[in-house]
Structure 1
Amino acid sequence: MVFLSIFMPSKAGAGVIKAINHTHWAINRFSVNGQSGIDIIGPYQGGGGGCCFSVPEKWQPGMTVKVDWETGVGISMDFPGYENRQRYLEWKKNIDSQKKQHSKTVPLPDYNGQDTCGITIHFLPCDEIKVTTSCWSPRNANYPIKEPLRMEEPKVCPK
């Protein structure tokens, strides 16, 4: 297994760390190989912008990336303010109880013969992820990940 360094010089190209969230949970934070993706990603949204992710000039079998992330409710509209400390602490406890930490090491898809533009993490239902280094827009037919933006969470996730 080859673990990629984020700062490895690359003739293949470097770019930002982005994400697309296909779930009803917020992605409170995420990182790729320890490098932050910066933004909170709301349900069914995209974002990110952390710098930087690069790959070696040639892809090799066994290349992987480690993605760490936290899911939760994100920004809550029922924030009580700080004036009533007891209400605030109850609200915070409820928000924190919904947060979950995740970590996965996933294969980096073959990019030989293609331009690379950083990395995009797709957060899918059942705490699954897919990654791509593609320069194509997700709206383009050539983009390699085809899952719809709004995906339903199954009642039971496969193990």
Structure 2
Amino acid sequence: MKRCRSIAVLLCLLLQGCVESRPTMLGAPISGINHTSAAINQFSVNGGGGPNLGPYGGGPGSQMCCAMLPVQWREGLAVVVEWEKDPSPYDYATLSEPLFSDAWRARMKEMRKKNTRHRAVVEVAPYEKLGVVDVHFLPCDQVVVSAVAHLPGMPGYPYNFPRRMEVPSTCPTP
């Protein structure tokens, strides 16, 4: 009897190695699409960094790693998006001071004071299969997030924003 029990335990342990375990969370690449005239100097999704985005820039070709998301989408799934925005990215072209001089550093420091930092908790659009985490930066410091396995502009992609969006005369209040 003791021997049968030992063999049964051994067989159970061996069979556990045959069971395929599937992860519940995966690291998904992060991409951004900037629909505004500002520059997104840096951004993150749940702490994972995304690429810098110039005005009206970004898209599928610019990805970084990674945001941890569940393999299976669920109701109320949200991420934390943090970003730094430069509202006047073209002002750097007016710098006349010698590069990396004290005067140049002082002017850069003054220009960076215009940059603003933002944080938003954003619901993730429903997905059937986890894909690239796309963060869309919209006017009025609004963001939306998709993690579908489709490229922007393709059927099944949840958002269809124009690449260039103007800031409305009044922004919605959060």
Distance 1:140 1:12, change over 3 A: farther
Aligned with 2:112: secondary structure?
helix
Query: RMSD value over aligned CA atoms?
Result: 2.2
Are 1:140 and 2:164 an aligned pair? no
Shift in Å, 1:74: 4.0
Which of residues 106, 109, 114 in structure 2 aligns to 1:98? 114
Are 1:81 and 2:94 an aligned pair? no
Aligned with 2:78: secondary structure?
strand
Identity in percent: 33
Does the aligned pair in 2 maintain the 1:122–1:130 contact within 8 Å? yes
What's the TM-score, normalizing by structure 2?
Answer: 0.74
Distance in 2 between residues matched to 1:94 and 1:19, nearest whole Å: 27
Deviation by residue 1:78-101 (Cα, 9 ceiling, x = unmatched)? 333336422x14421342122000
Which consecutive residues of structure 1, in runs of 5 or more, have no partner in the other structure?
1-8
Q: Tell me which amino acid in the other structure corresponds to 2:125.
A: P
Cross-structure match for 1:19: 32
Q: Tell me which amino acid in the other structure corresponds to 2:122.
A: V
Cross-structure match for 1:110: 126
User: Greater helix share, 1 or 2?
Assistant: 2
Shift in Å, 1:150: 0.2
Cross-structure match for 1:6: none
Aligned with 2:93: secondary structure?
coil
Which consecutive residues of structure 2, in runs of 5 or more, have no partner in the other structure?
1-21
Distance in 2 between residues matched to 1:145 and 1:10, nearest whole Å: 28
Does the aligned pair in 2 maintain the 1:10–1:54 contact within 8 Å? no
Distance in 2 between residues matched to 1:12 and 1:96, nearest whole Å: 37
What's the TM-score, normalizing by structure 1?
Answer: 0.81
